[in-house]
Structures are given as structure tokens and as C-alpha cells.
């Protein structure tokens, strides 16, 4: 009979955990005016610590909170009386940041996903790093929230580390690890995990999804975001074979592809046999799939989204969405004129990585019109104030519900003709007229 293994060190780590455990109100007492708090995004936000900190707002001034893509309510970006007490700096806006910016409680920091934590830690002293983590294992390790995005660099840079343990969080495999020895404060919370709303797929989405699927070969490695267009793309990829995943974000659609046998990761050339990602955001279907799944490796975005890393995959296909594209191929996927809507994220990182990849393809998809077909998203020039997310020199494929335009190795005139051909028919003559007026055609 085999004797059960006994891990004597487990008791040591449990005692260490108990010694650092405290109420959120006590932990946030360590925050002082002028401090910078480094966080991350999505599931990594610690709601109990955030709420406790907000209750101290009358005692504090000029506390900067660096994070991105907020998906949970955060009082320090919602309540006007917090102005002057807290300010959120974000490289990718979610709804909370958009509303916070209107109140002067949040501001946008233009930066690529692969570089954001490096640049932030160089230019800001991180007094405290806070995050949500999984329950501690018997070896004293906890895994960070939805994965490792900005976290490893912030962990190394911070003077103090606060964690909010949530037993509902899955435990991930990869870089997103914290040991109880390295933690200064522990609080506990059993809040339910954020559930990403599933966006309804329209017939327009399905058409775009079919065009995207035409370009994804069997054995390709994919990067895919979230939304109705990516959801449609996932549906159209279900019959593919031996797809791999190297992506910034895992979501429910990738679980469907894996369970259908479309994703096997067998043909991947970087971490073969495993999905590689920086974070996950979806529903319990995804979180249960990710829990202790050795077929997934979570990487810090400074590695995962680096274009050299992305380019190591054979047939890497990046699939992202855009808001506007002009006739030269410049793409805006983050702002509505001068109003910041989302962020650069990993769009350019992955576009450049896919172009580096042998057999790789960089795809940007968008509807041909918005506002009930009254506004064309393909324009002669970008609207005033629109951010250039993807420069024209980095563009490969553009897809609308009217077709595919391959802009690679095309002249400006050839690009304009290709883009006009996939614009909404109601706007093609107008685009041709503008292009001739500007000397493009």
C-alpha cells in the first residue's frame, strides 16, 4: 500500500497566510495621499479593497490607480466627490473608464499592450500592487485573477503587495503566480465572478465571419477578440482542423472550438500543444475550462503580445475589429473622433506579429456602415481626431460584409479601389468622387 504524501510545508504556509489576513478596511489604511496603485484588468480588480479604499476618500488626495478594461463597478470612477482624491490611468477603456473620463476621474494612456506595464513602471513609482487571486494551494501559491497582463512587472516593481482571495476564481497554469511569502496583506471575498454578456450575432456578423473563415487555414494559430463579429467567426471555424491559439484574450468561443475538436494546438510552433494567452474574460463556461488546465499557459503581456513572440507561430492569424478605415488603409479601432472609446490594446502588436509569422495573416473586420446605414465606416480620410491604431504600413486584410480587401503590397490607388469595392454600395460613388478630388484615384 502506498502511503499518502504529507506536505509539512503546507502548515507553514497556512500559518503565514493567517498572519497576513486582515479586513479590507485595515489593509487600505496603508494607502497614503500621493500613492500610485498598480492594478491590471478584468477579473484582476479587487472589489473589496476598492470599495474599502473609496470609503476613505475624505482622508486622501491624489491617489493614482493604474489599471485597464474595468468590467466591475468602481466607485472611484463613478462619484464626482471622488475628484481630487482618486484618479484612474488606463491604457484600455471599458465602460467605467469612459464614464469616469467624463467626470475627470479617469484618463487615457496611449500604449501598446506589450509595452504598457514596462513603460508605466519606468515612469511611475508603484507604491502598492493590488489584485484578486485564487485560493492558495498547498505550496503557498496563488494565481492572479484573469491571468497575467501587467502583473509580473508590477509585482517586481511594487513596494507592497495586497491580494484579495476569491475562492470562486479558477487556478491558472503559467506566469500569473504569487507566493504567500511575497504578499504583505491578504483579504478575503467570495464575490461572484463577472459574467461577460454574450452579444447577439446578426446576419451581417455571420457574413463577415464566413469571409474571415475563408482566410483561416487548417493548422493556423489564431488570435481573436470578443464581440458579435468574433463570436460569428468562432461559429464559422467549428469545422476547421488542428487550429492553435496564441491570443491576448481567451473567451467562451474558444471553449466551443476546443470541444468541437477544431482547436488541438498540435500544429503550433510556439508552446505546441497548449493555448497561450494573457488573460481570460467570459462566463463560468470559460472559467471552469481554465481551472487547472495544463493545456493552457497564461503569459505576461510583455511576452505574450510581443510581436517577436507572436511571429514565432507558424500561420499566425490575428483577427481584430475596427471602427473606421480610410482609403490609404489607416485604421482607427479605439476612438470616436476625439472621444476615447477603448484602446490600442494588442491590436498592433498582433498585427505586426502575424505579418512576421511564416504564412501569417493580419485581419481587421468592421461593418461597412453604422447608425442604420447612414454613415460609412470606410472614408476618404479618417475623421478629425480619430486615433490611428494600425498605420497603413502594417495593414494586411480588411473585411466587411461586402468582401475582402487585401492591401498588402498594393499602391495607394490600388488600396483605394479595393476598399471602395467592399464599402456599402450606397457610398461607393461618393468615395470615388472624394478619392479623385484628393488625387488618390
* b/e per residue 294-313 (b: at least 16 CB within 10 A): eebbbbbbbebbbbebbbbb
Sequence-distant (6+) residues with CB within 8 A of 262 are 237, 238, 239, 240, 241, 243
Q: Cα 92 from chain centroid?
A: 8
Does residue 188 carry a catalytic annotation? Answer: no
Distance CA 219, CA 240 (A): 8
Distance between CA atoms of 127 and 31, rounded to whole angstroms?
A: 8
**φ, ψ (nearest 5 deg) of residue 50:** -60, -45
| Among candidate residues 48, 43, 5, 40, the one with its CA nearest the CA of residue 23 | 48
The helix or strand, by DSSP H or E, that contains position 27, with its residue range, turns out to be: helix 24-27
Q: Given 248, 307, 334, 432, which residue is catalytic? A: 248
Q: Rounded to whole angstroms, what are the CA distances from 206 to 198, 212, 231, 234, 365?
A: 15, 10, 9, 10, 12
Separation of alpha carbons 14 and 11, rounded Å: 5
Residues serving a catalytic function are: 248
Amino acid at each position: 500500500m502506498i502511503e499518502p504524501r504529507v506536505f509539512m510545508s503546507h502548515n507553514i504556509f497556512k500559518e503565514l497566510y493567517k498572519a497576513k489576513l486582515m479586513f479590507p478596511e485595515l489593509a487600505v489604511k496603508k494607502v497614503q495621499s500621493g500613492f500610485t496603485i498598480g492594478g491590471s484588468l478584468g477579473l484582476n480588480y479587487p472589489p473589496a479593497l476598492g470599495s474599502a479604499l473609496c470609503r476613505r476618500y475624505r482622508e486622501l488626495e491624489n491617489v493614482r490607480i493604474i489599471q485597464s478594461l474595468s468590467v466591475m463597478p468602481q466607485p472611484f470612477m463613478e462619484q464626482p466627490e471622488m475628484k481630487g482624491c482618486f484618479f484612474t490611468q488606463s491604457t484600455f477603456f471599458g465602460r467605467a473608464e469612459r464614464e469616469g473620463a467624463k467626470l475627470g476621474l479617469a484618463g487615457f494612456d496611449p500604449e501598446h499592450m506589450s509595452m504598457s506595464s514596462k513603460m508605466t513602471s519606468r515612469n511611475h513609482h508603484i507604491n502598492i500592487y493590488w489584485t484578486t487571486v485564487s485560493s492558495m494551494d498547498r505550496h503557498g501559491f496563488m494565481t492572479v485573477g484573469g491571468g497575467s497582463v501587467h502583473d509580473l512587472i508590477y509585482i517586481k516593481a511594487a513596494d507592497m503587495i495586497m491580494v484579495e482571495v476569491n475562492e470562486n476564481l479558477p487556478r491558472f497554469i503559467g506566469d500569473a503566480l504569487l507566493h504567500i511569502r511575497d504578499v504583505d496583506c491578504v483579504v478575503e471575498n467570495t464575490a461572484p465572478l463577472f459574467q461577460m454578456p454574450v452579444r447577439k450575432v446578426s446576419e451581417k456578423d455571420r457574413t463577415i465571419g464566413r469571409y474571415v473563415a475563408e482566410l483561416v487555414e487548417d493548422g493556423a494559430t489564431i488570435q481573436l477578440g470578443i464581440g458579435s463579429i468574433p463570436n460569428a467567426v468562432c461559429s464559422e471555424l467549428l469545422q476547421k482542423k488542428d487550429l492553435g491559439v496564441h491570443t491576448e484574450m481567451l473567451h467562451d468561443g474558444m471553449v466551443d472550438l476546443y470541444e468541437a475538436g477544431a482547436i488541438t494546438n498540435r500544429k503550433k510552433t510556439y508552446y505546441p500543444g497548449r493555448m497561450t494567452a494573457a488573460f481570460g474574460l467570459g462566463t463560468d463556461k470559460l472559467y471552469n475550462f481554465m481551472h487547472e488546465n495544463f493545456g493552457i499557459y497564461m503569459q505576461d503581456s510583455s511576452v505574450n503580445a510581443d510581436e517577436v513572440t507572436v511571429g514565432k507561430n507558424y500561420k499566425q492569424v490575428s483577427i481584430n475589429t475596427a471602427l473606421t478605415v480610410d482609403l490609404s488603409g489607416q485604421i482607427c479601432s479605439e476612438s470616436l473622433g476625439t472621444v476615447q472609446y477603448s484602446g490600442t490594446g494588442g491590436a498592433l502588436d498582433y498585427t505586426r506579429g502575424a505579418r512576421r509569422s511564416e504564412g501569417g495573416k493580419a485581419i481587421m473586420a468592421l461593418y461597412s456602415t453604422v447608425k442604420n446605414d447612414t454613415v460609412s465606416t470606410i472614408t476618404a480620410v479618417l475623421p478629425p481626431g480619430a486615433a490611428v491604431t494600425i498605420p497603413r504600413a502594417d495593414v494586411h486584410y480588411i473585411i466587411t460584409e461586402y468582401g475582402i480587401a487585401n492591401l498588402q503590397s498594393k499602391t495607394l490607388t490600388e488600396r483605394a479601389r479595393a476598399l471602395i469595392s467592399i464599402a456599402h454600395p450606397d457610398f461607393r460613388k461618393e468615395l470615388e468622387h472624394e478619392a479623385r478630388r484628393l488625387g488618390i484615384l
